[in-house]
Amino acid sequence: MSDQPMTNFSESRFASSWSAATGSWLPAVILLLATIAAWEVVVRIFAISAFIIPAPSEIARSLVAQWATLMQATLVTAGEILFGFLVSVVVGIAIALVIVRFDWLGRALYPLVVLFQNVPKVALAPIFILWFGYGLAPKIGLILVIAFFPVTLSMLAGMQAVDRSLLSLMNSVGASQTQILFRIRVPHSLPNLMAGTKIAATLSVIGAIVGEFAGASDGLGYVIQFASTQLDTALVFAALLLVSVLGIAFYYAAEILERIVVPWAPKFSQA
Amino acid sequence: MRIEPIRAAGGRPAHIRHDDDLISAKGVSVVMARQLVLQNIDLAIPKGSFVSLIGPSGCGKSTLLKVLAGLVDPTSGSVSIAGLSPVEAARKRMIGLVFQDANLLPWKNAVDNASMLLGIADKSLSRAQLKARGQEMLELVGLGDSAHKRPHELSGGMRQRVAIARALALDPAVLLMDEPFGALDAITRDSMGQSLLEIWQRTGKTIVLVTHSIDEAIHLSRHVHVLGIKPGRITESLDIGLPYPRDLSVTEDPEFVRLTVQLRTMLRASHQPGGAS
């Protein structure tokens, strides 16, 4: 390792990451546009029925025609995702803290949490509908059981990866376990936690849609189900597009949050 | 200049107990995982001294340092630091620790890292007092103008300087250092050693340094203890008579060269497993 200080290269790093980003996006954008064009052409040439595969133009038309309905459904689903995501993050963090702070409770809890991961949680949706009705609660519950785990697991990994000699330093000055937890382990776990949070954001979208499939009177999942019973496949695709947009939006929101919370994380600070 | 304790002919000065010994270990043995890691270590470290522990890998020199720091309990024998047990001494902030990895907190800047341990050891200090102390220590280690840099903006050598500042912030009587420059390149290592000598002379701390560098041990220390393997034990002790203050030109001194040869011979012998003594 050189003894030269790594001075602030943030400007040049930004510039290079910008060109790298556009450089890496451009082929993907071209491929996407080509795929849409090919899709349109194939559907028209072979006269594929719109209720099997609607042409992209058909989907766009449906999107415009049903705009108000779709926006209202998007808002409902976005609310479920956001609320469910926040609950998952809070509960996920709380479980991780309990496991690390209270040793015997952790040893009791951790295997159960891991075991619970083997339950196909999507299959819990009907039970949640049974217990909580058709409103917001079953969706939040479903998102929670699907999304808390990556939060707990990533935070645990970060809290347990603290260097032993750092713990020796803390012990030598008589630091309490609580001090070590909140001054060292928790901040040390934040980069991991933020990575887990991004996974939870993606899973929250899945949780909300599955919850709406199982029983709802509103939201994009409901629109997808309703439209497919009507054989309005173009509307199904339009709703699917909006679900994807929501997923991307939540993922990038989590990514921005990461940059705000842990600007010092290795992935940002090492050029 | 303080007067050197007179050593009995043939070495083994460790048994001699002086009133001005700050650290004394008597008959310290450590068994870990059914292995005898350290056997019957007797060690006396005078106050204000600079002592190096050198030996091959696996000789238990790091374990010995941990015993002195109160991080490992000896299986038998005892250690006293100014009459206290190592753990009591550590609680009274008498022990400063520096490891090979600086272990700075990446979310704190240099000055907050330097005062971090002090803040935990002494809860009565205000943030401003901690900052002032951290800044003072950074200046002592030559990083006064890097107070607001985060660890990733510092080089390996600079990070290690912050780690030394963090230990010194406790105002410990003893600085226990476990291969603190082991991960640095040769040039940085030399300048870090020189800085450490200057810090030692300005602060009058007692320093115990674990190293595997012969040059470093002779350049810096007043006494060198050689540890042998299987089991870990002190095989030889060597007084370094070169006058202080020393700088890097000391390495060209004929006496330095003679001591290097002598220490190398001792180290070679220490690689031979020894029987029960």
Q: What is the ipTM of this complex?
A: 0.82
Tokens read off for A218 = 């509103």
Count CB pairs under 8 A between chains A and B. Answer: 85
Cβ atoms of B196 and B207 within 8 Å: the answer is yes
Read off the pLDDT of residues B36-94 as tens digits, 9 standing for 90 and up: 889 999 999 999 999 999 988 888 889 999 999 999 999 999 999 998 999 999 989 99
**Overall average pLDDT of the B145-155 stretch:** 92
pLDDT tens-place string over residues A101-131? 898 888 998 899 889 888 888 888 889 989 9
Q: Which residue, chain included where needed, has tokens 């939540």?
A: A250
Above pLDDT 90, what percent of chain A?
Answer: 64
Chain B residues in contact with A166 by the CB 8 A cut-off are 103
What is the H or E stretch that residue A139 is in? helix A136-160
Residue B245 falls in which region: left (phi positive, over 0), alpha (psi -120 to 50) or beta? beta
* Interface residue B90 vs chain A (CB under 8 A): yes
Cβ of residue B114 closer than 8 Å to a chain A Cβ: no
Helix runs in B79-213, H state only: 86-91, 110-121, 127-140, 156-168, 186-203
Residues 176-195 on A with a CB inside 8 Å of B are 179, 183-184, 187-188, 190
Among candidate residues A80, A114, A82, the one with its CA nearest the CA of residue A95: A114
Taking the CA atoms of B253, B257, B258 and B263 in sequence, report the sign of the dihedral they define: positive
**Single-letter code of the amino acid located at B1:** M
Evaluated on CA atoms B180, B182, B184, B188, the torsion sign reads: positive
Range in A4-18, B21-35, B104-118 the model is least confident about:
A4-18
Picking from B107, B109, B175, B185 by the largest number of A CB atoms within 10 A of its own CB, the best residue to mutate is: B107
Single pTM value for the model? 0.81
| Model confidence at B8: pLDDT above 50 | no
Nearest-angstrom CA–CA distance, B169 and B165: 6
- How many C-beta neighbours within 10 Å does residue B168 have? 23
Residues counted in chain B:
277
Q: What is the maximum alpha-carbon separation in chain B?
A: 56
Instruction: Give the model confidence (pLDDT) of A182-235 as tens digits.
Output: 999 999 999 999 999 999 999 999 999 999 998 878 999 999 999 999 999 999
The three-class DSSP label of residue A177 is helix
Q: Distance (Å, rounded) from C-alpha B27 to C-alpha B15?
A: 10
Helix (H, G, I), strand (E, B) or coil at A8: coil
- Can you state the angle between helices B61-69 and A164-172, rounded to 10 degrees? 30
Mean pLDDT of chain A: 88
Is residue B272 pLDDT above 90, yes or no?
A: no
Give CA–CA dist B165/B133, Å, rounded: 10
